[in-house]
């Protein structure tokens, strides 16, 4: 192939990558592009994505796109509400779209600043009003880097083009490829007929791009498993496991009637810290990933026999009763809420 032909092929690939990253960024960003109303028929975006994926010879992407092509027509208002539940809130979304949340277990952590420095160093201006480590902004930044590569190739500046390509690959490996595929996989499993295949496409494309494809031998650390409770009824909801879980995969959720120990598998790194902390050795790691957020332990809230208010969970009371081997009046006194206990204590001192 002659020099000009090589540049043409490279240009087509850089251009295809830029389009695919940009379209993926747009597809996950509120208020959502109009084409999502008819993801299964005749939309120019799917056509563009198919062309791009073929250009990059990505069978996994093409498989995901075929699934998308089978999706029925959608009501855009409902789809927007669904998108909010998956990635935005209010309340806890299915999966967080922020890198900092996944890596630093908090919003706007050091990862967020690191990403912002990349944008600044390469002259990109992310939109105001959103954090720099949002999934769509990182994808749009990749699109920007590949557009710069394509532009350099169009102007026959092969050396400049190589610099842009290498920086795009570095950024991809350092940031998006380290966490967005997991977001994509969670969506693929739980996000329905539109965001499911889009999630699958996202995961497959980033993995292939970063050379992390399972097919070619993964460099991703093997996940050791997700916590399960050997005997749920023995768990006294002490929350020690919650306190050591740095990714907040484990958390307590409380309603007026119940206290739950919850697991969000999408956030679990399989580090095993929770299993080592449980004072009763009740937690162990299981390789099977639960389908979405699950309650590992559920206990009714206790009702104070004196004032009738709900207070701690029955599981917590039972755990204390068991530890103290409490019977009779001692057992009975543990059923009262803190205020009534204090009042009774004050009364008996008079």
Smallest distance, ligand SF4 to C-beta of residue 276, A: 9
Closest to ligand SF4 by CB, 136 or 241: 241
Residue 49: CB atoms within 10 Å = 25
Closest to ligand SF4 by CB, 273 or 303: 273
261-290: which residues touch ligand SF4 (CB under 6 A)? Answer: 261, 268-274, 277-278, 280, 282-283
The two beta strands, 294-303 and 310-313, are antiparallel
Kindly state whether residue 292 participates in binding ligand SF4, applying the rule CB under 6 A: no
Strands (E) in the chain, as ranges, are 226-229, 250-254, 258-263, 283-286, 294-303, 310-313
Q: How far apart are CA 350 and CA 348, in angstroms?
A: 6
Q: Residue 278 is encoded by which pair of tokens? A: 């449980």
Q: How far apart are CA 25 and CA 13, in angstroms?
A: 18
- Residue from 52, 68, 136, 249 touching ligand SF4 (CB under 6 A): that is 249
Instruction: For residue 222, give the 3-state DSSP assignment.
Output: coil
CA 62 to chain centre: 23
- The site string for ligand SF4 over 198-227 (x = CB under 6 A, - otherwise) reads -----------------------------x
- Residue from 51, 190, 247, 306 touching ligand SF4 (CB under 6 A): that is 247
Smallest distance, ligand SF4 to C-beta of residue 301, A: 16
Smallest distance, ligand SF4 to C-beta of residue 335, A: 20
Residues 95, 207, 120, 19, Cα dihedral to 10°: -100
Nearest to 71 by CA among 200, 201, 196, 199: 196
Closest to ligand SF4 by CB, 27 or 245: 245
The radius of gyration of the chain from alpha carbons, rounded to an integer in Å, stands at 26
Kindly state whether residue 238 participates in binding ligand SF4, applying the rule CB under 6 A: yes
Kindly state whether residue 135 participates in binding ligand SF4, applying the rule CB under 6 A: no
Q: How far apart are CA 285 and CA 127, in angstroms?
A: 41
Smallest distance, ligand SF4 to C-beta of residue 151, A: 42
Tell how many helices (H) and how many strands (E) occur in the chain.
15, 6
Smallest distance, ligand SF4 to C-beta of residue 60, A: 27
Closest to ligand SF4 by CB, 49 or 283: 283
Smallest distance, ligand SF4 to C-beta of residue 270, A: 5
Closest to ligand SF4 by CB, 24 or 237: 237
Q: How far apart are CA 105 and CA 243, in angstroms?
A: 12
Q: How far apart are CA 300 and CA 310, in angstroms?
A: 10
Closest to ligand SF4 by CB, 80 or 189: 189
Smallest distance, ligand SF4 to C-beta of residue 299, A: 10
Instruction: For residue 324, give the 3-state DSSP assignment.
Output: helix
Closest to ligand SF4 by CB, 36 or 229: 229
DSSP states of 97-131? -BHHHHHTSSTT-HHHHHHHHHHHHTT--PPTTS-
Smallest distance, ligand SF4 to C-beta of residue 285, A: 6
CA 109 to chain centre: 16
Closest to ligand SF4 by CB, 35 or 240: 240
Kindly state whether residue 245 participates in binding ligand SF4, applying the rule CB under 6 A: yes
* Number of shown-chain residues binding ligand SF4 (CB under 6 A): 27
Smallest distance, ligand SF4 to C-beta of residue 246, A: 7
Provide the binding-site residues for ligand SF4, judged by CB under 6 A.
Answer: 227, 229, 235-241, 244-245, 247, 249-250, 261, 268-274, 277-278, 280, 282-283
């Amino acid at each position: 192939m002659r020099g000009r032909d090589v540049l043409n092929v490279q240009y087509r690939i850089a251009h295809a990558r830029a389009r695919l990253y940009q379209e993926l960024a747009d597809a996950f960003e509120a208020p959502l592009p109009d084409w999502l109303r008819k993801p299964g028929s005749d939309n120019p975006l799917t056509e563009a994505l198919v062309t791009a994926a073929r250009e990059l010879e990505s069978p996994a992407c093409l498989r995901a796109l075929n699934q998308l092509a089978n999706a029925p027509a959608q009501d855009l208002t409902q789809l927007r509400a669904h998108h909010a539940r998956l990635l935005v809130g209010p309340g806890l979304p299915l999966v967080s779209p922020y890198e900092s949340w996944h890596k630093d277990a908090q919003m706007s952590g050091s990862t967020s600043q690191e990403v912002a420095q990349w944008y600044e160093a390469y002259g990109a201006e992310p939109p105001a009003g959103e954090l720099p480590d949002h999934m769509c902004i990182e994808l749009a930044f990749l699109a920007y880097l590949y557009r710069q590569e394509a532009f350099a190739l169009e102007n026959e500046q092969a050396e400049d083009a190589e610099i842009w390509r290498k920086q795009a690959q570095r950024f991809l490996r350092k940031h998006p490829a380290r966490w967005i595929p997991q977001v994509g996989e969670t969506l693929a499993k739980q996000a329905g007929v539109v965001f499911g295949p889009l999630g699958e496409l996202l995961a497959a494309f980033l993995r292939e791009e970063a050379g992390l494809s399972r097919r070619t031998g993964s460099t991703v650390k093997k996940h050791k498993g997700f916590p399960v409770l050997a005997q749920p009824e023995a768990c006294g909801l002490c929350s020690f496991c919650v306190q050591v879980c740095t990714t907040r995969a484990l958390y307590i959720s409380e309603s007026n009637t119940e206290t739950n120990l919850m697991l969000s598998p999408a956030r679990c790194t399989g580090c095993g810290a929770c299993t080592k902390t449980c004072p009763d050795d009740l937690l162990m790691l299981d390789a099977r990933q639960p389908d979405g957020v699950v309650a590992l332990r559920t206990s009714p809230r206790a009702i104070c026999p004196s004032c009738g208010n709900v207070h701690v969970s029955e599981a917590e009371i039972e755990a204390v009763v068991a530890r103290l081997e409490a019977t009779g009046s001692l057992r009975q006194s543990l059923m009262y809420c803190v205020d009534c206990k204090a009042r009774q204590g004050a009364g008996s001192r008079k």
